[in-house]
C-alpha cells in the first residue's frame, strides 16, 4: 500500500550572502576579483553584468559588507534620496537598465559620488555602456565604468551549488543524484534552487530519501525528464 503523503509547507530557506558562502569558478572569477580588489578601483565605480541568477546580488552583498555600502534598486533611485544613499560613502545600485531608472537621478548620483569620493557598484543583466540611455552626459559617465561579466555556471560550479543547497536543507545525497540532475535542470543558480526545493518537498511528502529514482520521478512529473 502506498505511503500516505505528508502535509508539507513551502517554508523559505535563508540564503547566506557572506564571502565564505560564495562558490568561485571560471564563470565568476573576474567579478570576484573585482570585489576583492576594492578599494583599489581607479574609477571608484564598477559594474557587474550577467543573466538572472548568476550571482550578481551575492557579489554585491559581499562588496556592500566590506565597503559599508547601502543598496537600492535601480527603479527606486530618486534624486532627492541620493545624499542619504551615499551617507556611508558607498552604494550598490541593482538592476540598472534603460527605462528602469530615473536618468536624472542616476546622473546626480554620479556627480554627488564624485564630489564626495564615494564608491559605486552597479549590477545589470546587460552592459550599461550608454545604449538606450538618453542623457548625453550620463552616457559618458556610464561608458567610463569598468565592467565585468558573469557567465552561466559551468558543471563544476553548478555541482557545487547543488551540493551546498542540499546541505543547507540538511539533505544527504550521493554524487549520483547530482550527476543525474546536472544535464536535466535549467543551467542557472535559480534552476538549481528550484530543483532542490522540489526534491526536498517530494522527499518529505513521500517519506523517502533523495535518490536518483526520486529525482527521476519528480523531474518526470514536472515535465523536465
Please list the residue range(s) of the chain that carry CATH number 3.40.50.300.
28-149
pLDDT for residue 13:
52
Q: Which fold has domain 155-221?
A: Helicase, Ruva Protein; domain 3 (1.10.8)
Among the CATH numbers 3.40.50.620, 3.30.565.10, 3.40.50.300, 3.30.70.2200, which is that of 28-149? 3.40.50.300
Q: What does the pLDDT average to over 70-85?
A: 97
| CA atoms of 57 and 61, how far apart (whole Å) | 6
Please list the residue range(s) of the chain that carry CATH number 1.10.8.60.
155-221
Residues 59 and 32 sit within 8 Å (Cβ to Cβ): yes
**pLDDT by residue (tens digit) across 45-59?**
999 999 887 889 999
Average pLDDT, whole number, for the chain?
A: 89
Helix residue spans in 38-150 (DSSP H): 56-67, 82-85, 103-115, 136-143
Amino acid at each position: 500500500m502506498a505511503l500516505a503523503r505528508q502535509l508539507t509547507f513551502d517554508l523559505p530557506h535563508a540564503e547566506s550572502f557572506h564571502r565564505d558562502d560564495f562558490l568561485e569558478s571560471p564563470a565568476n572569477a573576474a567579478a570576484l576579483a573585482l570585489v576583492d580588489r576594492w578599494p583599489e578601483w581607479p574609477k571608484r565605480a564598477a559594474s557587474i553584468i550577467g543573466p538572472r541568477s548568476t550571482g550578481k546580488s551575492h557579489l554585491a552583498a559581499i562588496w556592500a559588507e566590506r565597503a559599508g555600502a547601502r543598496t537600492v534598486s535601480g527603479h527606486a533611485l530618486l534624486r532627492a534620496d541620493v545624499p542619504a544613499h551615499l551617507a556611508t560613502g558607498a552604494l550598490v545600485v541593482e538592476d540598472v537598465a534603460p527605462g528602469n531608472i530615473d536618468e536624472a537621478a542616476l546622473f546626480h548620483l554620479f556627480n554627488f559620488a564624485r564630489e564626495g569620493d564615494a564608491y559605486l557598484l552597479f549590477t545589470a543583466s546587460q552592459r550599461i555602456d550608454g545604449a538606450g540611455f538618453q542623457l548625453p552626459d550620463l552616457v559618458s559617465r556610464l561608458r567610463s565604468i569598468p565592467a565585468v561579466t558573469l557567465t552561466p555556471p559551468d558543471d563544476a560550479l553548478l555541482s557545487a551549488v547543488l551540493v551546498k543547497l542540499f546541505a543547507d536543507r540538511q539533505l544527504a545525497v550521493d554524487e549520483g543524484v547530482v550527476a543525474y540532475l546536472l544535464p536535466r535542470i535549467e543551467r542557472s543558480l535559480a534552476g538549481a534552487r528550484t530543483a532542490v526545493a522540489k526534491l526536498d518537498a517530494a522527499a518529505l511528502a513521500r517519506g523517502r530519501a533523495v535518490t536518483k529514482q526520486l529525482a527521476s520521478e519528480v523531474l518526470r512529473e514536472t515535465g523536465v525528464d
